[in-house]
Amino acid sequence: MSFTRISEIGEFALIDRLATLIAPTESQLSTLKKGIGDDCAVIELPNGKLQVVSTDLLIEQIHFDLLTTPLEHLGAKAISVNVSDICAMNAKPLYATVSIGLSNNISVEMIEQIYEGAARVAKQYGIAIVGGDTSASITGLVISVTIVGEVDASKITYRSGAKAGDLICVTGDVGRSFAGLKVLMRERQTMLDTFAENPDMDKSTYTADLSEYQKAIEKHLLPKARIDAVKFFHEVGLVPTSMIDVSDGVGSELKHLCRNSQVGALIEESKLPILSETREISDEFEDDGTTYALFGGEDYELLFTISPNDFDKLSSFKDVHIIGKVLDASSGVKMRDLFGTDIDLQSASGFQHFTEEEDLFEDDDDAHDHDGHDHSAHNHSAHNHNEHNHNGHDDEDEDIWGERKN
Ligand SMILES: [Mg+2]
């Protein structure tokens, strides 16, 4: 048997190969509407509704750094990123299973913290955690969540429905999560340097003031799935023509939408919702905040397209920005920058900043998303438990599906 390294073909080619192997099983489920290739798999239910299913894996040292990530946040994020994939189908999440691989440096109390975080946000999203599996792990902590949701067949939204002339919209703000990650990575290094220089130091006494970066750090550690946007769509009878959640950055997700819909797009840099907090952090790192927005990822906002006829329906949803227009495929996927130059987003080389951050740019020009798989392999990192006072739990006991908040 030959030995091909995964790095030789890349993750997307690997998924293609695996998809080929499982393809013969798909015909055994006559109700399967969509297998690999969207945010969720889609299955027809006898009641005329559609079931949507997604799964995500979080692995220590790939997706998070245990030394510096609050465990409660980790549990919460594991649920939120899965709910986000359900939202990307314009569906309502119903229930999830949480499985965990445990290394022997994890205590019972630590595991409880992870599940407390998961349970807290599950309550907010109005979903039940119905089971899972636990196992020993020799390579660090592993968390896998599988989630199931439901949607009326008339409301299902795939990545593939965008049409030339549609408006391109994004909820919330983008780039902030990556800005938070940058701060956390720097803080982690400072912490490790301090420990190295002071080997006798009591590590629990280490403190850092990250208060000025609070908004960005919070977005990174505790992203919220935009279930409020989906609820709004249902209330006003708006069905986006295509939708995806922003796990890899607006630029990357836009390319997915365009490839799946066989269209082109032009977005405007000036319309990208990037907060001043994000710009201040990117300036501090001598980076470009626009790059964070396009390719940083993990914002878990919704990127979607609507027919221009639905513009009025969208107008009462405040936390959304129209950033561009869908064009014919021949127009390519481009961003008009602040100077009026159209930059090709298909080839990263069109924008010199794109090549400076190796962490930002994985080869996803030819992406083939596996349902529920998160392709980002950012090293999530540093976080100081002592100083980071999370204060975003003001609505923690509300089922946000039932309580739309704008
Ligand atoms: Mg997704």
Rounded to an integer, the average pLDDT of 329-341 is 95
Which is more confidently placed, 376 or 27?
Answer: 27
* pLDDT higher than threshold 80 for residue 281: yes
Integer angstrom CA distances of residue 330 from 162, 253, 258: 15, 19, 11
| d(CA 196, ligand 1 centre) in Å | 39
Q: pLDDT tens digits for 149-186?
A: 999 999 999 999 999 999 999 999 999 999 999 999 99
pLDDT for 1: 80
| d(CA 254, ligand 1 centre) in Å | 12
- The reported pTM is 0.85
| d(CA 85, ligand 1 centre) in Å | 5
pLDDT for 369: 40
User: Within 262-363, where are the H helices?
Assistant: 276-284, 289-291, 311-314
| d(CA 195, ligand 1 centre) in Å | 38
| d(CA 190, ligand 1 centre) in Å | 33
Residue % of the chain over a pLDDT of 90: 71
Phi, psi of 164 (to 5 degrees): -55, 135
Residue % of the chain over a pLDDT of 70: 85
| d(CA 297, ligand 1 centre) in Å | 11
Q: pLDDT tens digits for 259-275?
A: 999 999 999 999 999 99
Which residues surround the ion ligand 1 when the cut-off is CB under 5 Å? 39, 85, 245, 247
C-alpha 212/C-alpha 379 separation (Å) is: 22
Q: pLDDT tens digits for 92-140?
A: 999 999 999 999 889 999 999 999 999 999 999 999 999 999 999 998 9
C-alpha 336/C-alpha 338 separation (Å) is: 7
Strands (E) located in 6-141: 32-34, 41-44, 49-59, 92-102, 128-131, 134-136
| d(CA 175, ligand 1 centre) in Å | 16
HSE toward the beta carbon, residue 313, CA cutoff 13 A? 16
C-alpha 164/C-alpha 308 separation (Å) is: 10
pLDDT for 245: 97
| d(CA 81, ligand 1 centre) in Å | 8
* pLDDT higher than threshold 70 for residue 400: no
| d(CA 31, ligand 1 centre) in Å | 22
* pLDDT higher than threshold 80 for residue 303: yes
Which is more confidently placed, 252 or 346?
Answer: 252
pLDDT for 226: 98
| d(CA 134, ligand 1 centre) in Å | 25
Strands (E) located in 153-216: 167-171
pLDDT for 205: 85
CB 173 within 8 A of CB 250: no
| d(CA 291, ligand 1 centre) in Å | 20
Residues near 147 by Cβ (< 8 Å), separated by ≥ 6?
53, 54, 55, 79, 82, 83, 85, 86, 93, 95, 96, 127
| d(CA 186, ligand 1 centre) in Å | 27
| d(CA 340, ligand 1 centre) in Å | 31
| d(CA 40, ligand 1 centre) in Å | 8
Q: Where are the domains of the chain?
A: 6-355
pLDDT for 37: 87
What would the CATH number be for the domain defined by 6-355? 3.90.650.10
* pLDDT higher than threshold 60 for residue 312: yes
| d(CA 169, ligand 1 centre) in Å | 16
| d(CA 250, ligand 1 centre) in Å | 12
Rounded to an integer, the average pLDDT of 178-195 is 92
| d(CA 264, ligand 1 centre) in Å | 20
| d(CA 374, ligand 1 centre) in Å | 7
pLDDT for 346: 84
Distance of CA 308 to the CA centre of its chain: 26
* pLDDT higher than threshold 50 for residue 321: yes
Cβ-count burial 95-125 (b if 16+ within 10 Å, e if not): ebebbbbbeeebeeeebebbbebbbbbbbbb
Q: pLDDT tens digits for 367-398?
A: 334 443 333 333 333 333 333 333 333 333 34
